[in-house]
Copies of this chain bind each other. A is one copy, B any other.
Amino acid sequence: MTSDQLRTELSELGEFGLIERISSKVDLTQAGTIKGIGDDAAVIDPGTEYQVVTSDMLVEGVHFDLSYVPLKHLGYKAVVVNLSDILAMNATPHQITVSLALSNRFPVEAVDELYAGILLACRNYGVDLVGGDTCSSTSGMIIGVTAVGTALKGTIVYRSGAKEHDLLVVSGDLGGAYVGLQVLEREKAVFAEIGTQPDLEGHDYILERQLKPEARKDVIELLNGMKVLPTSMIDISDGLASDALHLAKASGTGVRIFDEKLPIDPATYGTARDFELDPTTCALNGGEDYELLFTIPLNDHDKVKGNPHLTVIGHMTHASEGCHLVDKQGVLHPLTAQGWNAFRD
C-alpha cells in the first residue's frame, strides 16, 4: 500500500476517470489485437472472422440486492448484460464463461437457481457455457461473466465510426429499468418498516425491464435484414446521456438529442410521475435498459422510419457544436454523463 500523503479517493476520479487512467498505461503489442479497452468488447483476429470478448462483474450490494432479486433472474441478467456488449459490436455471441464467488450463507440450491437462470439465457440466445471458476467469498456473491462471439471483419461496428449529420437511433424504450428499481426499493423500505408484503401490482413491464432485461439480438437481426449497417453503436448500460457521449467522444463528433423524441413507455412515464421523477431524466440517466444506441447515415432514414422497434432521437454534429439535449422549447442543455459516482455511492 502507498503512503497516506499520496491518497487519491476513487470517487474523485470516478469510474470513467479510472478506466482512462488504466487504459493510458496499456500498450498493445499483439498482432491479433484489433481493438483493446474503450469499446463494448475487445476485438481479436485469429485469422478468419474476428473474435470479440467482453467481461463484466456483478457484486451483491452494488449491482443487485438479493432481498428482492430472485436468483434465477440474477443469473439470466448476468448473462444478458454481457451478450448485449457483444451484440453492440454487431457481433454474434457464441460462448460464455462464468466465475462465481459466494459465501457459505448460500446453500447449493441457491447456486442451482442462479445457474437455472444462466442456462435459460444460454438457451434463449444460443450460447454455450464453456467454463469459469467457483470459489468462496467472505461476504456475499460476486458473479463474473465473460462472453465471446464472432463478427465478420467488414461489418463489425465500433463506437468510433459516427459522422456529422448521421442520425442517432435507439431501440425499444428507455427509463423502464430505472423506474422499476424505484418500485423495488420502495417496497423493500416499506417491508423493512411495517412488514407488509411487497405491492408490485400493475408494474409488470418496468419490473421485467429491471429484473429480466433482454439483449437486443432481434434488433441486430432486424438491421441486418434491412441492410442497415450502423456507423457506430453502443448498448445502453450507464444511461442514454452517458452512452451517447461515449459515441460522440469516440467518433470525434458532437451530438444533439431531442427530448420530445425519447421513447418512453406509458408504464414508465406513469410510475415516474407517481415517484415525482422527471420521465426525461429517467430515460436519459436511468441506465440498465440494454437497448442499442447507434448512428446511421442520413441516407438510411427511410429504412428505419416508422419501424416500431426503432426511434430516431437526434443526430451527430460537428465536434465544435458540443453535446446537447434540446428541450421542447428548442433550448439547448449540455448533456452530462452519470457514472457510478452519481448512481452508486
A residues lining the B interface (CB < 8 Å): 1-2, 6-13, 15, 18-19, 21-22, 25-30, 32-33, 35-37, 41-42, 44, 46-49, 51, 53-57, 59-63, 66, 71, 94-95, 97-102, 104, 106-113, 115, 119, 122, 126-140, 142, 144, 146, 148, 150, 340, 344-345
Contact = CB atoms under 8 A, between A and B. Distances in A.
Given A22-B134, A62-B136, A108-B9, A142 B37 contact: no
Secondary structure call for the A interface: mixed
Contacts of A132: 37, 55
A288 to B, nearest CB: 13
A1 B110 contact: yes
B6 A101 contact: no
B57 A115 contact: no
A18 B150 contact: no
A28 B130 contact: yes
Given A97-B55, A128-B29, A128-B33, A63 B109 contact: no
23 contacts: A1-B66, A2-B113, A10-B102, A10-B104, A10-B107, A15-B135, A18-B108, A21-B112, A26-B119, A26-B122, A29-B128, A33-B95, A37-B130, A44-B94, A44-B130, A46-B150, A55-B97, A57-B100, A57-B101, A57-B142, A136-B345, A139-B139, A144-B144
The count of identical subunits is 2
A148 B53 contact: yes
B33 A108 contact: no
A65 to B, nearest CB: 11
B138 A53 contact: no
Contacts of A13: 108
A56 B126 CA distance: 24
Contacts of A106: 10
Contact of A99 (B37, B95, B110, B144): B144
Nearest to A136: B62
A232 B192 CA distance: 56
A115 B57 CA distance: 17
A10 to B, nearest CB: 6
Contacts of A59: 101, 135-138, 142
Nearest to A107: B7
A18 B109 CA distance: 11
Given A8-B108, A107-B8, A55 B134 contact: no
Given A109-B6, A135-B63, A94 B32 contact: yes
Nearest to A142: B142
Contacts of A138: 59-62, 139-140
Given A55-B146, A135-B15, A130 B46 contact: no
A41 B130 CA distance: 8
Contacts of A60: 138
Interface centre among A2, A7, A136, by most chain B C-beta atoms within 10 angstroms, is: A136
Contact of A150 (B32, B49, B345): B32
A49 B49 CA distance: 11
Contacts of A139: 138-140
Nearest to A33: B128
A112 B25 CA distance: 10
